[in-house]
Structure 1
Amino acid sequence: MKLLGGCEEKCCKINKGITTTEEMWRGSEITEDEIGRQIERLKRGKAPGGDGIQNEAWMFGTEGVKERIREAVDGVWKEKDFPRQWREGIIIPIFKKGQKSDVKK
């Protein structure tokens, strides 16, 4: 089924390479270096998520920010479950040009 003009296929490409086996969870902890590398990949000027926090807060935060993120992510990693709020997102379609009825636009 082509949901939202192929969104399903795009989601599969995004998740490609993510391992969901038990080995992924065993004996590993998230490090502040890993958190730092992901923060470096963030882009400026993006809209905040449902929590209202913009990327710049993470990018220009103190080292304590990385430690707090690591603690939160490590807790999720150990529990093998995400908080309900992390499973939610807001999708706002933005019309650019062409037929408004064509969801691929």
Structure 2
Amino acid sequence: MSPRKVTSSLLPLRITIDFIPLENTDIIAETLRIQEAEEKEKYLQKAKKRDEILQLLRKQREERISKELISRPYKVKDKVHNKTPVVPETDSKDQEEVKALD
């Protein structure tokens, strides 16, 4: 295929629209209202689904906590050793030096 030359007859026509008939604006407005209503419905469905998910998560959390509370008395308790705090020698030396200064 050879490239065609563009002639003035093949150039697109430029049409300016000075006005839109009144009945077309009504159709456009109605279309916009329908689209907005559909979009609103879509977001309401998403919000409802989100609420359902959050409710399910709360329920699962409550069940987990109740199971934990039931099993808590039967769990093996870790032995806690009463340890005296270990004071490093440098701290005791510092304290002795401070007392000596007084």
TM-based fold match above 0.5:
no
TM-score between the two structures when normalised by the length of structure 1: 0.21
Larger Rg: 2
Structure with bigger helix share is 2
Structure number with greater CO (CA < 8 Å, separation at least 6) is 1
